[in-house]
């Protein structure tokens, strides 16, 4: 298995609070991605990174920000969580954008 | 524009019988196509990928898929289902042009009857 960890694995928070999810990789892959998974929607790309300090938006980026200060870490921040952001969040990595992606175990976030 | 449609939200087969999970795609350019599997409460695992080499692609655990450009399909098959195959399967299309051009299908849940 690719060396990808996500923390926390589960989180319950209240509407309006900030939340940060962390993705850590040990594979030294250049690309890192954040997805959310909701029933009936498959996975949808939130943001991705193509290098340290290089990030771009995905399909559902509103309400989310990201940062990547080191190759191995990619942070996803919900500045002010809303109930619509209740979801399972997956991090993925790839050597290049046209190579296959490897996924982390996921973080289940509940916003009350 | 790219899109991917998984034609069945749920497929149920008996153990030992063939599996067919259907996927149709739309892409302006020659796409890369993938199948991933997700077991309950787990992350996604790559089953196989098509990247414009052989049209019949073999993956892990006995799965294979055939790229048919004329039909814009990339169906996943397995000759004989095993109980451990019960999971959610996702067809994915991505463009060579951009890292953000990746589209997941809505998933097909595969159930295996004893």
d(CA B64, CA B62): 7
Mean pLDDT of A70-76: 97
**pLDDT at residue B97, as a whole number:** 67
Under 8 Å CB pairs connecting chains A and B tally to 49
- Tokens representing B107 are 């998933």
**pLDDT at residue B102, as a whole number:** 85
* Size of chain B in residues: 114
Instruction: Give yes or no for residue B106 having a pLDDT over 60.
Output: yes
Residue in A with minimal Cα distance to B88: A42
Residue pLDDT, tens place only, B1-48: 778 999 999 999 999 999 999 999 987 777 889 999 999 888 899 999
**pLDDT at residue B79, as a whole number:** 97
- Going by pLDDT thresholds of 50, 70 and 90, the confidence category of residue B72 is very high
Four-residue CA torsion sign, A86, A39, A2, B24 = negative
**pLDDT at residue B98, as a whole number:** 66
Instruction: Give yes or no for residue B95 having a pLDDT over 80.
Output: no
- Going by pLDDT thresholds of 50, 70 and 90, the confidence category of residue A2 is low
Residue in B with minimal Cα distance to A34: B100
Q: For tokens 């900030």, name the residue.
A: A18
- Tokens representing A51 are 């290098």
SS3 of residue B84 by DSSP: helix
- Tokens representing A100 are 């296959």
Pairing of strands A19-25, A73-78: antiparallel
Non-local (6+) Cβ contacts of A62 within 8 A are none
Contact A102 B46 (CB under 8 A): yes
**pLDDT at residue A69, as a whole number:** 95
B40 vs chain A: nearest CA distance in angstroms?
11
Residue pLDDT, tens place only, A24-52: 999 999 999 999 999 878 899 999 999 99
- Going by pLDDT thresholds of 50, 70 and 90, the confidence category of residue B99 is low
DSSP category for residue B100: T
Pairing of strands B10-14, B108-113: parallel
First to last CA, chain B: 41
């Amino acid at each position: 298995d690719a060396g990808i960890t996500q923390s926390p694995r589960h989180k319950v928070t209240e509407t309006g609070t900030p939340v940060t999810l962390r993705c850590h990789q040990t594979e030294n892959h250049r690309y890192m991605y954040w997805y959310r998974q909701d029933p009936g929607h498959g996975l949808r790309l939130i943001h991705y990174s193509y290098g340290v300090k290089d990030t771009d938006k995905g399909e559902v980026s509103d309400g989310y920000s990201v940062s990547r200060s080191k190759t191995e870490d990619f942070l996803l921040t919900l500045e002010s969580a809303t109930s619509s952001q209740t979801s399972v969040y997956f991090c993925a990595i790839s050597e290049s954008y046209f190579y296959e992606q490897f996924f982390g175990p996921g973080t289940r976030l509940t916003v009350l | 524009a790219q899109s991917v449609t998984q034609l069945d939200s749920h497929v149920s087969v008996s153990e030992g019988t063939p599996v067919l999970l259907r996927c149709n795609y739309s892409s302006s350019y020659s796409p890369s196509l993938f199948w991933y599997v997700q077991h309950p409460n787990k992350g996604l695992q790559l089953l196989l990928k098509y990247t414009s080499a052989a049209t019949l692609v073999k993956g892990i655990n006995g799965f294979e898929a055939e790229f048919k450009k004329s039909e814009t399909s990339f169906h996943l098959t397995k000759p004989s289902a095993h109980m451990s195959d019960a999971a959610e399967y996702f067809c994915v299309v991505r463009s060579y042009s951009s890292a953000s051009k990746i589209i997941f299908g809505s998933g097909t849940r595969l159930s295996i009857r004893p």
